[in-house]
Structure 1
Amino acid sequence: MQHEPNATHELSTAGVGPWRGEWPEGGHYDEELLKRGDTRNVIDRYRYWRMDAIVADLDEHRHPFHVAIENWQHDMNIGSIVRSANAFAADTVHIVGRRRWNKRGAMVTDRYQHVMHHDTVAALVEWADAEGLPIIGIDNVPGSVIIETFDLPERCVLLFGQEGPGLSPEAIEASDAVVEITQFGSTRSINASAAAAVAMHAWVMQHVEFPG
């Protein structure tokens, strides 16, 4: 898969003020943002763009992996996982279980990221089967294999459990494979949102081509 990451660091991490000079042409620009400035948490490429225009542009190059998260206990890590999914251009985030989730950690990235809800693991499996997507569970449980040597499918669903209990028995049973992140310290596990970011980056390293 070809991908062209930003060649330079972002220049306006604190936002930008009103547009100076003659306004640019293009239907993707938001007149209010041009007039008042843009302090949103978006990359420079999308400064002054309308929100729907940003989503439409992202849709042109989202990656073909999905992220699914079990939400039985209102896990506060979900927002951070959504934010990472946006950063790695995941196709869609799937919330399994409770519909409501804590969005604080998402830092409004959920506005630009497709999010679907499934009442049960079985409902997620039914959807994934219809789309022809294998489910890859991420958890350090007996029988799991290390992600560092596992060939992640290009089109797949990366399924994560909750902080603490990890994947539910139903989720493990539903997974086509279960992989774990190799750890070298004394702790038994790492934070759920950190694990999700590591797994998404592992997918990127296997399926995205970088210059040089």
Structure 2
Amino acid sequence: MPHGPEEVGLGPWSGPWPEGPQWDPELLREGDRRNVVDRYRYWTLEAIRADLDTRRHDFHVAIENWQHDFNIGTIVRSANAFLAAEVHIVGRKRWNRRGAMVTDRYQHIRHHASAADLAAYLHSLPGGPVTLLGIDNLPGSLHLETTAVPRRVCFLFGQEGPGLSEGARSVCDGTFSIAQFGSTRSINASAAAAIAMHTWIREYADLGGAGGSAEAGVWRG
């Protein structure tokens, strides 16, 4: 079919079952139709998370959640695709998971009551402080395109519309903006998050490793 295969994933395992703790008997028996790359077909969720934990990147991503922002799910999905260390939700604990497309199950997600709490957590992590950078088109913000971001960094995004709250701005170690050339005042928060994360990937990721394979970017359904 021109738009892709009729079915996604793989059906029941053919032949003798493989041995090892990573294999899920139910998936081997029924088939694996999840949105995962082929290296993780038939693996348990716990085994996939454990394997991802061995090679997560040094960047974090955070978003303020004061109005149940629908962008959070999409940001979590991008964080999974780019293998963020953790995703941080600031503000309300409940968030709309629909846009995550179940990727939140494979990601470490932390909640912080305030941006100050987030900053305190990041600055106390083992291995040294993680720099907290707000992404917003504020006066005085540096250009994301022309400044090298730190390896240990957390990108913080505000609500769709108002952007970063005053509390968030006050605790950021710096702010960056994404260059725009059209008439709109701002771009979608989830799009901005994906751009920021990919900026880190271009600077630091090992594109020759398993996570940098072409397969990692193919839509599997």
Matched, 1:133 2:127: no
Query: What code does the residue aligned with 1:51 have?
Result: L
* Corresponding residue number in structure 1 for 2:214: none
Compute the displacement of 1:209 (Å): 3.7
Gap runs ≥5 in structure 1:
1-10
Cα distance change of structure 1 residues 64 and 13 upon mapping to structure 2, 3 Å threshold: farther
Kept in 2: contact 1:12–1:44 (CA 8 A): no
1:13 deviation in Å?
7.5
After TM superposition, list the pairs within 5 Å mapping 1:128-167 onto structure 2. 128-131=122-125, 132-167=129-164
- How far is 1:125 from its partner? 1.3
> Which one-letter code corresponds to 2:196 in the other structure?
A
Aligned to 2:170: 173
- Alignment pair present for 1:65 and 2:59: yes
Give the Cα separation in 2 of the matches to 1:155 and 1:13.
Answer: 40
SS in 2 for 1:69: strand
Alpha-carbon distance between aligned partners in 2 of 1:98 and 1:69, rounded to the nearest angstrom: 11
- Matched positions, count: 202
Letter in 2 for 1:182: A
- Give the Cα separation in 1 of the matches to 2:196 and 2:134: 10
Which residue pairs with 1:191 in the alignment? 188
Runs of 5+ consecutive residues of structure 2 not aligned to the other structure:
209-221
Tell me the distance in 1 between the aligned counterparts of 2:104 and 2:150: 25
Displacement after TM superposition at 1:12 (Å) = 10
Q: Which residue of structure 1 lines up, in the alignment, with residue 87 of structure 2?
A: 93
Corresponding residue for 1:208? 205
Q: What TM-score results when the alignment is normalised by the length of structure 2?
A: 0.88
SS class of match (2:62): strand
2:212 maps to what in 1?
Answer: none
Q: 1:12 to 1:30 in 2, by over 3 A?
A: farther
Tell me the amino acid that sits aligned with residue 50 of structure 2.
Answer: A
Ranges of 4+ aligned residues in structure 1 off by more than 4 Å: none
Task: State the shift of 1:150 in Å.
Answer: 1.1
Q: Using the TM superposition, give the Cα deviation of residue 54 of structure 1 relative to its aligned residue in structure 2, in angstroms.
A: 0.1
Counterpart secondary structure, 2:134:
strand
2:101 maps to 1:104? no
Paired letter, 1:46: Y
Q: Which residue is 1:77 aligned to?
A: 71
Shift of 1:210: 3.1
